[in-house]
């Protein structure tokens, strides 16, 4: 008698934050989201948190603080993708990773 074995493919999602400003340019990843929807919900929560700041300007998946000229970009990506390596296109509303214009 043959037994079939099914492999479950578990894909975790990472919420990446890129912070760019006059004195900083760095990436931070928060992993552990079970699916893209949960990652995007967490991104929305973070963006909503920054709405309380008067100098916060929002564009898509980014918030810019005009007083200190710092921008935070948020991206939800599968854990197999690392935006620090190369620009990546993601379907489904996660946006396209693009390098901001040079100053």
Q: Measured between alpha carbons, how far is residue 36 from residues 13, 17, 19, 91 in Å? A: 6, 15, 21, 11
What pLDDT score was predicted for residue 17?
A: 97
Convert the pLDDT of each residue in 7-40 to its tens digit: 445 579 999 999 999 999 999 999 989 999 999 9
Over 60: is that where the pLDDT of 97 sits?
Answer: no
pTM: 0.73
Q: Where residue 89 falls among pLDDT bands split at 50, 70, 90?
A: low
Convert the pLDDT of each residue in 67-87 to its tens digit: 999 999 999 999 999 999 866
What pLDDT score was predicted for residue 82?
A: 93
Q: Measured between alpha carbons, how far is residue 93 from residues 33, 34, 52, 57, 85 in Å? A: 16, 17, 24, 20, 21
What pLDDT score was predicted for residue 85?
A: 85
Across the range 83-97, mean pLDDT stands at 59
Residue pointed to by tokens 């599968």: 78
For residues 28 and 16, what is the distance between their CA atoms, to the nearest angstrom? 6
Task: Report yes or no: 56 and 64 within 8 Å, Cβ to Cβ.
Answer: yes
């Amino acid at each position: 008698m043959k037994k079939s074995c099914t492999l479950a493919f578990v894909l975790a999602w990472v919420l990446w934050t890129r912070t760019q400003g006059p004195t900083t340019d760095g990436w931070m990843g928060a992993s552990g989201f079970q699916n893209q929807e949960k990652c995007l919900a967490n991104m929305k929560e973070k963006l909503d948190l920054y709405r309380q700041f008067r100098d916060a300007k929002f564009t898509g998946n980014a918030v810019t603080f005009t007083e200190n000229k710092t921008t935070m970009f948020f991206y939800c990506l599968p854990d197999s993708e690392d935006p620090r390596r190369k620009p990546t296109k993601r379907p489904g509303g996660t946006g396209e990773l693009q390098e901001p214009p040079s100053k």
